[in-house]
Amino acid sequence: MSTKQHDIKPSEITPEDVFFKRREILQSAVALGLFPALAGRSRAAVLPASGEFSGLASWPGSLTDTPNSLEEISSYNNYYEFGTGKDDPVRNAHTLVTDPWSVSVTGEAARTGDYTLEDILAPHTLEERIYRLRCVEAWSMVVPWVGFPLADLLARFEPTSQARYVQFFTLADREQMPGLRSPVLDWPYREGLTIEEAMHPLTLMTVGVYGKVLPNQNGAPLRLIVPWKYGFKSIKSIVRIHFTDRQPRTSWNMAAPHEYGFYSNVNPNVDHPRWSQATERRLGGGLFAPRIPTLMFNGYAEEVAHLYAGLDLVRNY
């Protein structure tokens, strides 16, 4: 018989400061030979030292399309903190230090503060999801991401009724990220979602790809995947999550508002000012790869169209 919440005595509730020190406590206990059965569980709660995940569940909603290769998705990237060329990140991102890592939670939530990566990951079960991701430059890719629903994480922070939007920030460190020396964007890189988009079960907090820990150029150690939006909405290397009552500023909307809107849903009916978005090519096929029709909401219309009921998606691009 399961224990009901109101059956738990106050004396049985773990103090918050002890909860967030649990990893150190467990490690000390294991080192002393105490609680040996917990050693494996402690290791499973963090990114694997080997760089490869084991025992991942396969998400039943995954695409059945053949995924792009790991080489394709890790050598052709948009990550301006490491350069504006598609192959700059794979050459330059080795300078990114991802351990230790922490995420600051601010704004309209009951539980704010700084959380280690271990704190972020510990309560969650990772799974592999094969998603389609669409870039604004008319190419797409199919990728097996590893992560857990963002909603599960955000709920832990207990956002208030004023939290209508969630804003995310990428690390901005000039010593680690040579691209910050260029004023191409107003650093740090930032993105935002409505609270409904952020809490949608398709939105993935991502820590891996192809069963491996995320490569630096793909947004290690923590990034979003929002599969029905253009790829730049899936922000990389997250260091801050901010709950707000106002639509937050986003990097590409700040840089070129006539080209990049806040919502940035994949929409074949709304062209970029410099190219059509009606068709796309699959990454890896080369310039002569056949173009295929772009799907509304990147093929996820059945799952997400209700989020925009009554909204003009041409004006609110």
The pLDDT of residue 124 is 93
Q: Are residues 27 and 147 in the same domain?
A: no
Structural domain includes residue 181? yes
The pLDDT of residue 288 is 79
Cα(179)–Cα(89) distance, integer angstroms: 9
Cα(235)–Cα(89) distance, integer angstroms: 15
Q: Are residues 58 and 80 in the same domain?
A: yes
Q: Are residues 238 and 141 in the same domain?
A: yes
DSSP 8-state code for residue 296: G
Burial of 130 (0-12, 13-18, 19+ CB in 10 A): middle
Q: Are residues 150 and 226 in the same domain?
A: yes
Q: Are residues 5 and 111 in the same domain?
A: no
Q: Are residues 29 and 143 in the same domain?
A: no
Structural domain includes residue 164? yes
The pLDDT of residue 34 is 31
Structural domain includes residue 313? no
pLDDT in tens, 188-197: 999 999 999 9
Q: Are residues 6 and 98 in the same domain?
A: no
Q: Are residues 117 and 65 in the same domain?
A: yes
Q: Can you list the alpha helix ranges (DSSP code H) found in the chain?
A: 16-19, 22-31, 39-44, 70-75, 88-92, 117-121, 150-156, 195-198, 251-255, 301-304
Domain that residue 200 falls in: 52-308
pLDDT in tens, 174-230: 999 999 999 999 999 999 999 999 999 999 999 999 999 999 999 999 999 999 999
Structural domain includes residue 315? no
How far is residue 311 from each of residues 191, 263, 307, 308, measured CA to CA in Å?
A: 20, 11, 9, 5
Number of domains comprising the chain: 2
Structural domain includes residue 97? yes
Q: Are residues 257 and 208 in the same domain?
A: yes
Q: Are residues 124 and 10 in the same domain?
A: no
- Report the CATH number that the domain containing residue 137 is assigned in CATH: 3.90.420.10
Q: Are residues 186 and 93 in the same domain?
A: yes
The pLDDT of residue 307 is 98
The pLDDT of residue 286 is 74
Structural domain includes residue 146? yes
Cα(314)–Cα(75) distance, integer angstroms: 33
Q: State the 10-residue block means of pLDDT for the chain, 317 residues long.
A: 35 38 37 33 62 95 96 96 97 97 98 97 95 93 97 98 98 97 96 98 98 98 98 98 98 96 96 92 84 96 98 94
Helix (H) or strand (E) holding 106: strand 102-107
Please give the model's pTM, rounded to 2 decimal places: 0.85
Contact (CB, 8 A) for 195 and 151: no
Cα(79)–Cα(88) distance, integer angstroms: 8
Peptide bond into 60 cis (omega under 30): no
Structural domain includes residue 178? yes
The pLDDT of residue 209 is 98
Structural domain includes residue 316? no
Name the percent of the chain in helix, strand, coil, to the closest 5: 30, 25, 50
Q: Are residues 18 and 163 in the same domain?
A: no
